[in-house]
Structure 1
Amino acid sequence: MSRESSPFLHRLRDATNGHDLEALTDCFAPGYRNEAPAHPGRDFVGTAQIRSNWSQIFTFVPDVEATILRETVDGDVVWSEWEMSGTRLDGTAHHMRGVIVFTVVDDRATSARFYLEPVDAEQSTVDQAVSAQVHAGGAG
């Protein structure tokens, strides 16, 4: 993997931080495929869903800001770790972290594997989290 930075990622970050829906949508190819392996029901194809998602985010988190924490490029695959934060209209915090693995062709994402998740504000320990996972559904 290369240590070079991705112009695509920086264009996407700048469009996000500039709250520029047109520039953000333009970061994605028309047939863009988004996979959410941890939430397969959230998979989608096309830029119409990108536009819908980000229109809502820009409306309901008007100060949203994205930071690229880490990135690496391997051919047309761009690995990226993100943090997004802001304040929702109701005054509550919006805070997400995670990884997005993009396939980029001609400076536009053609696909992504999306692992960005809301930050859990609860102060549970790892033992409590593991217990909650393995005892889910009433087992235990």
Structure 2
Amino acid sequence: MEKTRLALLETLFAAFNAHDAEAVMACFAPGIVFDAAAGPEAVGKRITGLEAVRAAFVGTWTSMPDVQWQVRRHAVFADRAVTEWLFTATAPAGGRIEVEGVDLFGFEGDLIVSKSAFRKDRPLQGV
């Protein structure tokens, strides 16, 4: 099961970097809960369900067309996983974003049911 979940994470991040909403959504369960890195809640911003999560990622790809997540490593532990990455993009108002972060994942069967993002808070570069 861990090899299957590792392959799912590799597929997910390839889809993120291709800005392929359909391929990203295929990795998530219908009730996906995504806790974004920033927002008004203690969890950041909680986004629930395929359509809302799809809209969040499409919004990111639209506002930062060059956004990429360079995976450093994945680690799968039964029904949980951690992915370490480098987030790079050009901010909508200009300036370069380059920060490290991690995602914490939960699985049910062969799909992801939760994703919680954490990333460093760093000033824009080249502003």
Superposition TM-score, scaled by structure 1 size: 0.71
Q: Describe the SS at the equivalent of 1:91.
A: coil
Over the aligned positions, Cα root-mean-square deviation in angstroms equals: 2.8
Q: CA 1:63–1:101 in 2, change beyond 3 Å: closer, same or farther? A: same
Residue of structure 2 equivalent to 1:136: none
1:121 lines up with 2:123 in the alignment: yes
Which of 70, 73, 77 aligns to 2:73? It is 70
Unaligned runs of 5+ in 2: none
The letter for the 2-side match of 1:93 is R
Give the conservation status (yes or no) of the 8 Å contact 1:5–1:71. Answer: no
Q: Which residue of 2 aligns with 1:47?
A: 50
Q: What is the match of residue 135 of structure 1?
A: none
1:109-130 CA distances to partner (integer Å, 9 max, x unpaired)? 1113332x254138xxxxxxxx
Unmatched tracts of structure 1, length 5 or more: 123-140
What's the secondary structure of 1:51's corresponding residue? helix
Q: Is the 2:81–2:106 Cα contact (8 Å) retained in structure 1? A: yes
* Structure whose alpha-carbon radius of gyration is higher: 1
Pair 1:22 & 2:14 matched: no
Map of 1:94 onto structure 2: 97
What letter is aligned with 1:64? V
Shift of 1:89: 4.3
Segment of structure 1 superposing worse, 66-75 or 29-38: 29-38
The verdict on how the C-alpha distance between 1:87 and 1:102 changes in structure 2, with shifts beyond 3 A counting, is same
Q: CA deviation at 1:3?
A: 9.5
With the length of structure 2 as denominator, give the TM-score of the two structures.
0.77
Whether contact under 8 Å (2:47, 2:53) holds in the other structure is no
C-alpha spacing 1:101/1:89, structure 2 compared with 1 (3 Å): closer
Q: Return the letter of the residue paired with 1:87.
A: T
- 1:32-43 mapped onto 2 (5 Å cutoff): 32-35=32-35, 39-40=42-43, 42-43=45-46
* Structure with greater strand percent: 2
Distance in 2, matches of 1:4 and 1:48, equals 25
Provide Cα deviations, 1:16-45, integer angstroms capped at 9, x if missing partner.
111111111222111112346983351232
How far apart are residue 62 of structure 1 and its match? 0.7
